[in-house]
């Protein structure tokens, strides 16, 4: 069963009560989030709540104004799904976690049993954003849903692709040849004795996990100017940076924001928020997530390699779904003064024994960890490393790969990945995937272009 964005509706009620709205014909209004051609403007006919539960592939979200009589921050929300509660529960829980809200109601197609209210921010803009997150989570949870619309990896909580399906980040490298300098590069990275290290997970502080945080911003979020230390290689913006923007701990201080309406990715390095007129950062880059365009050659980004950060992170929602179909960014202590496609910038040293920025590494197909030592989530990451590999994106500790800052990661889920030996990797030559030097578009396995270029 597929849910499409064109069939998503938002249904509002006039009741300002914490009780479930009565199933009456009065007070109902419908605002269509995205209208199909056959849908006329204006409110839909009033219908009882019981009839509002869809019987086809359709999502309805019911919300009321914040209560003025009891809890000022409480905004009742009902999510209607044509699926059973046991199926809906994990989907809605994931959506609620993405927008930092509480539990939602769920009305099954065969009943109207409701769960608890969801706590929403009082601001209308924040409510609209969370509703978009809910819709995105539900749509992307069904085969043929968001994936069918974007044709590729979808950023969790949005309907935005993490670049087109034919982007190099999203391209399998299982059939590519080993790079000529693979053995040399591996020696410089201490591969014979090193193990991979997930650079994310529990920190001992429940609300401040390790990893790189990111934020889905409201389309109405005000944009501000940011002063850059490397202004000549930064996109001038403006950026949706605010006091609520999560900033990575440590020295890099990355700030990553996504506008779900325009599918624009904003990334900042060494971020310092000081209000609308005095905020600054080391560098900044903006990306159209629907485009394969690369940065100008020689330009940095919020990453030393001039690449985007977010599409290369290990994301909890993707891993828990059992599928992560993109390469993972990682770091090396020694990089050379060169970069290879798709990277656009170097920050290395005069040593050609070290790998260049943009180098891609693949886990051996025959490598395995027993299920007793590697859970399903662990196996998902292992499979991703075999299929899509790692992309060298920054200087740092050898074989550290990055993920999202997420309170849901457990020590076990992180520690199991530390069993992967770096010696099980090789560098691959992905130059044959390049369609154009200034584009991230890649020839895809199984196509004539791939066969002609890669053999």
Report pTM: 0.71
State whether 334 and 411 are in the same domain: yes
Residue 163 counted as domain residue? no
What proportions of the chain, in percent to the nearest 5, are helix, strand and coil? 25, 20, 55
**Residue 116: is its pLDDT beyond 60?**
no
Rounded distance, CA 153 to CA 143, Å?
Answer: 13
Q: Are residues 204 and 106 in the same domain?
A: no
The mean-pLDDT minimum among 16-25, 69-78, 386-395 falls in 16-25
Integer Cα distance of 83 and 138 in angstroms:
11
Please name which of 44, 46, 24, 47 lies closest in space to residue 36, comparing C-alpha atoms. 44
Give the model confidence (pLDDT) of 302-331 as tens digits: 999 999 999 999 999 999 999 999 999 999
Does residue 342 have a pLDDT over 50? yes
Q: 269 has which bridge partners?
A: 283
68 inside domain: yes
Indicate the pLDDT class of residue 363, thresholds 50, 70 and 90.
very high
For residue 153, what pLDDT band results from cuts at 50, 70 and 90?
confident
Q: What's the pLDDT at 442?
A: 97
Closest alpha carbon to 347 in 445, 241, 269: 269
Joined tokens for residue 293: 């365009």
Examine residue 348 and state whether it is found in any structural domain, yes or no. Answer: yes
Q: What is the count of structural domains for the chain?
A: 2
Question: What confidence tier does 44 reach under pLDDT thresholds 50, 70, 90?
Answer: very low
Residues 63 and 134 grouped into a single domain = yes
Do 39 and 116 lie in a common domain?
A: yes
Region of 183 please: left (phi>0), alpha (psi -120 to 50) or beta. Answer: alpha
Residues 315 and 407 reside in one and the same domain: yes
Phi first, then psi: give them for residue 393, nearest 5 degrees.
-120, -10
Residue of 390, 394, 399, 403 lying closest to 418 (CA atoms) = 399
Which residue range forms the structural domain that includes residue 120?
Answer: 5-150
pLDDT higher than threshold 90 for residue 71 = no
Classify 298 in phi/psi space as left (phi over 0), alpha (psi -120 to 50) or beta: left
Question: Cα separations (Å) of 117 from 5, 9, 74, 79, 408?
Answer: 24, 19, 8, 10, 22
Q: Is residue 155 part of a domain?
A: no
φ and ψ at residue 133, rounded to 5 degrees: -65, -45
Worst-scoring range by mean pLDDT, 27-36, 193-202, 380-389? 27-36
Is residue 32 over pLDDT 60? no
Average pLDDT over the chain, rounded to whole? 78
Q: Looking at the structure, tell me whether residues 19 and 105 fall in a common domain.
A: yes
CA 93 to the chain's CA centroid: 17
| Together in a domain, 18 and 46 | yes
Is 62 a residue whose pLDDT tops 90?
no
146 with 179, same domain?
no
Confidence at residue 143, expressed as pLDDT on a 0 to 100 scale: 40
Residue 387 lies in a domain: yes
DSSP 150: H
Answer whether residue 29 shows pLDDT above 50. Answer: no
């Amino acid at each position: 069963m597929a849910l499409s964005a064109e069939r998503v509706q938002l249904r509002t009620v006039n009741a300002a009560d914490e009780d479930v709205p009565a199933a009456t014909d009065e007070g109902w209004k419908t605002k269509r989030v995205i209208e199909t051609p056959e849908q006329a403007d204006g409110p839909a006919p009033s219908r009882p709540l019981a009839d509002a539960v869809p019987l086809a592939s359709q999502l309805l979200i019911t919300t009321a104004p914040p209560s003025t009589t009891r809890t000022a921050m409480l905004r009742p929300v009902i999510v209607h799904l044509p699926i059973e509660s046991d199926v809906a529960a994990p989907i809605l829980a994931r959506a609620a976690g993405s927008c930092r809200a509480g539990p939602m109601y769920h009305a099954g197609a065969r009943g109207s049993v409701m769960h608890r209210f969801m706590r929403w921010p009082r601001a209308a803009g924040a409510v609209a954003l969370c509703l978009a997150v809910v819709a995105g989570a539900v749509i992307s949870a069904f085969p043929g849903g968001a994936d069918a619309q974007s044709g590729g990896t979808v950023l969790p909580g949005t309907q935005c692709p993490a670049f087109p399906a034919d982007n190099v980040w999203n391209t399998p490298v299982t059939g590519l040849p080993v790079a000529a300098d693979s053995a040399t590069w591996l020696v410089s990275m201490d591969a014979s004795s090193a193990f991979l290290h997930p650079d994310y997970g529990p920190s001992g502080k429940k609300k401040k996990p390790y990893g790189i945080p990111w934020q889905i911003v409201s389309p109405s979020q005000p944009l501000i100017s940011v002063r850059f230390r490397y202004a000549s290689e930064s996109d001038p913006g403006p950026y949706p940076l605010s006091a609520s923007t999560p900033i990575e701990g440590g020295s890099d201080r990355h700030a990553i924001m996504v506008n779900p309406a325009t599918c624009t990715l904003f990334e900042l390095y060494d971020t310092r928020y000081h209000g609308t007129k005095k905020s600054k950062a080391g560098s900044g880059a903006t990306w159209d997530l629907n485009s394969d365009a690369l940065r100008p050659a020689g330009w940095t980004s919020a990453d030393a390699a001039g690449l985007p950060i977010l599409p290369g992170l290990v994301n909890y929602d993707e891993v828990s779904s059992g599928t992560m179909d993109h390469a993972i960014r990682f770091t090396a202590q020694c990089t050379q003064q060169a970069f290879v496609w798709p990277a656009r910038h170097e920050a290395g040293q005069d040593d050609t024994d070290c790998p260049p920025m943009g180098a891609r590494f693949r886990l051996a197909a025959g490598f395995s960890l027993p299920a007793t030592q590697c859970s399903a989530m662990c196996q998902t990451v292992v499979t991703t490393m075999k299929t899509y590999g790692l992309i060298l994106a920054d200087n740092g500790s050898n074989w550290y790969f990055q993920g999202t800052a997420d309170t849901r990661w457990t020590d076990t889920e992180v520690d199991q990945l530390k069993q992967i030996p770096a010696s099980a990797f090789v560098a691959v030559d992905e130059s044959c995937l390049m369609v154009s030097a200034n584009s991230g578009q890649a020839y895809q396995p199984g196509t004539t272009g791939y066969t002609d270029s890669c053999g």
